Amino acid sequence: MIEFDCLADGKRDPAPAEPVGPEADRLARLLAAVPLLNGLAPAEVARFARGVREQKAEKGEVLFHRGDPCHGFHLLLSGQIKLAFTSSDGHEKVIEIIRPGQTFGEAVMFMDKPYMVMAQALTDCALLHIAKSVVFDEMSREPNFCRKIIAGLAQRLHHLIADVETYSLRSGRERIIGYLLREEEMDGTPTRSGRVSVRLPTSKGTIASRLNLTQEHFSRILHELTEAGLIEVEGRTIHIPDIARLRTSLA
């Protein structure tokens, strides 16, 4: 059986057990959801199962710290993970909020360097850790897999550049409106007009850091948008009376 771990310091990395029978089939089905493995034949996906370790992390647990060695990458099955920098005086900058179905850690794995950020569970989480040895073996075996990896990393770079553009050229108000619109789109087919509600996936402070804003600035802008009749705030739920009007205000 694959070992279930709750990593608190990122330093334990026991050798993965060899999955057999139904366990291998179950892991292969989970791995089929990994974007990097999409399109591979079942036999190819099954080869990754031997390098998979399941993990459970409770809310608040740190999966790894900056400077810890990287032995593979993670796939989030359920819950939310934040990737962040922490300064010596305790200030935190959230780089990304990982959601189910997303992976993280690939770039550092290929660089063969320690983690540059810390990863912490925002909720109770279930993850898969995929050992870099099986990834490198498949890269040597399958050129198409190499191209998929390059495409995935290029997409991450594209998102990073978009983030830099947003922080540099857009106001805090524009960042928050853009974030709310993206959250609404992630729930399914975007609503073109009318009233919708958006449930913030995590605390306002974490989202503010993700948008490169202070929590005070974030709250002040929410108040201004409320005064303008563009949103209604109810805890972590943001009601948008007319999403078309909110979208137009961003133009």
Tens digits of residue pLDDT in 73-132: 999 999 999 999 987 777 889 999 999 888 899 889 988 899 999 999 999 999 999 999
Same domain assignment for residues 154 and 176: no
Distance of CA 227 to the CA centre of its chain: 32
pTM of the model: 0.76
Same domain assignment for residues 142 and 179: no
Predicted local distance difference test score (pLDDT) of residue 187: 67
- 3-state SS assignment for residue 98: strand
Nearest to 26 by CA among 57, 62, 1: 1
Match 């005070």 to its residue by tokens. 216
Cα torsion through 10, 152, 178, 248, rounded to 10: -170
Nearest to 83 by CA among 101, 96, 70: 96
H or E stretch at 177:
helix 172-186
Cα–Cα distance measured from residue 249 to residue 251, given in angstroms and rounded to the nearest whole number = 6
Predicted local distance difference test score (pLDDT) of residue 189: 65
Q: How many residues does the chain have?
A: 251
Quote the number of domains for the chain.
2
- 3-state SS assignment for residue 240: strand
Q: Can you name the residues that pair with 198 across neighbouring β-strands?
A: 238
Task: Report the CATH number that the domain containing residue 224 is assigned in CATH.
Answer: 1.10.10.10
Same domain assignment for residues 73 and 134: yes
Same domain assignment for residues 27 and 117: yes
